[in-house]
A and B are shown apart, each in its own frame.
Chain A
Amino acid sequence: GENVEQHPSTLSVQEGDSAVIKCTYSDSASNYFPWYKQELGKRPQLIIDIRSNVGEKKDQRIAVTLNKTAKHFSLHITETQPEDSAVYFCAASVNTGGFKTIFGAGTRLFVKA
């Protein structure tokens, strides 16, 4: 079946460093790629998303890049802060012949002060 692989599963960085999380998807029809942040015991919240007609999108310290050929997209967080510590999920979605969305297993990010 379709799947999304997310790496690494755990990432520890020093405050102020950059963090990169990578996802690879298998369904070439996927055309919407959101990233969610989930703090412990809380609901997931969208932090950034990208559509298949765009290669890169940036919002302040957060950026996402998409390589459709390689079926690969990445989340980049610069100047990390302790409050960035959370679990981050990627997803690949499509709405052709029915809505489908597959989530990655998540990356637990620790930002050390």
Chain B
Amino acid sequence: DGGITQSPKYLFRKEGQNVTLSCEQNLNHDAMYWYRQDPGQGLRLIYYSQIVNDFQKGDIAEGYSVSREKKESFPLTVTSAQKNPTAFYLCASSKQVIETQYFGPGTRLLVL
């Protein structure tokens, strides 16, 4: 399961606060992804990046932002505009898109 890490494991957000979730990979993968998982539902794509300095919106990008300044890192910021942020957030990477994705251990975000 090594190679892709996420931190923190749990994160608490106060109303009106922006919080940033970390995702790092040492697999030399070009593509990285952020997903949101809600109870009883499948994963939904928030953002993805095919290459450094490039990223694209997924299906539920509103209220989230990302950056891809380094190949190894793809942080996700949950902004105050995201009104229902409580969920399990999963980061993944793959050599290229449409190839096997490897997931991180996830960050559970809770609202105080």
Contacts and interface: CB of A to CB of B under 8 A. Distances in A.
Interface of A: 1, 4, 6, 31-32, 34, 42-46, 49, 89, 91, 93-95, 98-106
Contact of A31 (B1, B98, B103): B98
Contact of B40 (A32, A95, A105): A105
A100 B48 CA distance: 10
B109 interface: no
Interface residues of B, number: 21
A1 to B, nearest CB: 8
Contacts of B103: 43-45
Specify the main secondary structure of chain A where it touches its partner: strand
Contacts of B50: 99
Contacts, number: 51
Contacts of B45: 100-101
A34 B101 contact: yes
B101 A46 contact: yes
A104 B102 CA distance: 18
Given A31-B98, A103-B44, A105-B41, 17 more contacts: A1-B59, A4-B42, A43-B90, A43-B105, A43-B106, A44-B90, A46-B102, A89-B42, A89-B43, A93-B98, A94-B98, A98-B56, A100-B45, A101-B45, A102-B42, A103-B43, A104-B42
Contacts of B41: 105-106
Contacts of A49: 100
Q: Which of B42, B102, B103 gathers the greatest number of chain A CB atoms within 10 Å? A: B42
A46 B95 CA distance: 14
A102 B41 CA distance: 11
Contacts of A98: 56
Contacts of A1: 59
A106 B42 contact: yes
B99 to A, nearest CB: 8
Nearest to A49: B100
Contacts of B105: 42-43
Closest 10 CB pairs of A and B: A103-B42, A43-B103, A103-B43, A99-B97, A95-B98, A32-B98, A95-B97, A105-B42, A44-B103, A46-B100
